[in-house]
Chains A and B, each alone.
Chain A
Amino acid sequence: MSEILIGIVSGFVSGMGMGGGTILILSLSLFMGIEQHIAQATNLVFFIPTSIMAIITNIKQKNIDFKIAIPIVFSGIVGAIIGAVISNKLDVHTLKKYFGIFLALIALLEIYSMLKKYIFDKKRHNKSIKK
């Protein structure tokens, strides 16, 4: 039953376009002790139906920029093949370590974007008011 709960939390967070998949994988692997590869594969399965729904809505609202998307799709598939082959060959311990490093990088990126949005931009905003 905990799987359903994990799904609810991840789905909830996915709505804002950040980290749903990350939370799903971490909950499965860290809290439920499911093997890292299987936890990651679960997220792939989880992503497909939800993203198809989102894509249909986005196409209807004309929010997808196909000119940008098409080349990214092709090089993305090449990247995915390389990534998946490497990942599948790694032992669990190493994969978990790399995953941890990746999360730390994402955290830094988030901190940077928060600083930019809530501190730097606000300062600039205040300055322009003073003028």
Chain B
Amino acid sequence: MVLMIKKIIIGLIAGLVSGLFATGGGMIVVPALVYLLKTDEVKARATSVFVILPMVITSGIFYYKNDFIDWKIGALCALGGLVGGYLGAKYLKRIPELYLKLSFTIFLIYVSVKMIIS
């Protein structure tokens, strides 16, 4: 029962964030599964992609209805994404995870301050 409530709350929060910001669901689901449900990291990552897809499709319907989708930008980004995804899968493991995480976090702090102040 407690386990079920935990799952429902994880879903609600991840869905809320996905709908609000169209990103970040994974950054919530993965640590939540690892720390709250004690799932191992590989399964948590795999399961998170599976649960986030329906949230993204649901949000997408609303963004589409409100005319926020620009298909040209989407297609160009997706094209780049295919190349980047391939390159990432091939070369990412050669870069130490700590450096990647550090640069990502510094980038996040910089832009968040910029966005909050502006």
User: Which residues on A are within 8 Å of B, measured CB to CB?
Assistant: 1, 3-19, 21-26, 28, 30, 34-35, 37-38, 40-52, 54-55, 58, 61, 63-65, 68-69, 71-88, 96-104, 106-107, 109-111, 113-114, 118
Contacts and interface: CB of A to CB of B under 8 A. Distances in A.
Contact of A58 (B49, B59, B68, B83): B49
Contact of B50 (A15, A64, A78, A107): A64
Given A11-B86, A15-B92, A83-B17, 8 more contacts: A12-B88, A46-B77, A47-B52, A68-B7, A71-B7, A80-B19, A103-B115, A110-B104
Contacts of B14: 72, 76, 79
Q: Report whether over half of chain B's contact residues are helix, strand or loop; otherwise say mixed.
A: helix
A12 B62 contact: no
Interface range, B side: 35 or more
Interface in B103-118: 104-105, 107-109, 111-116, 118
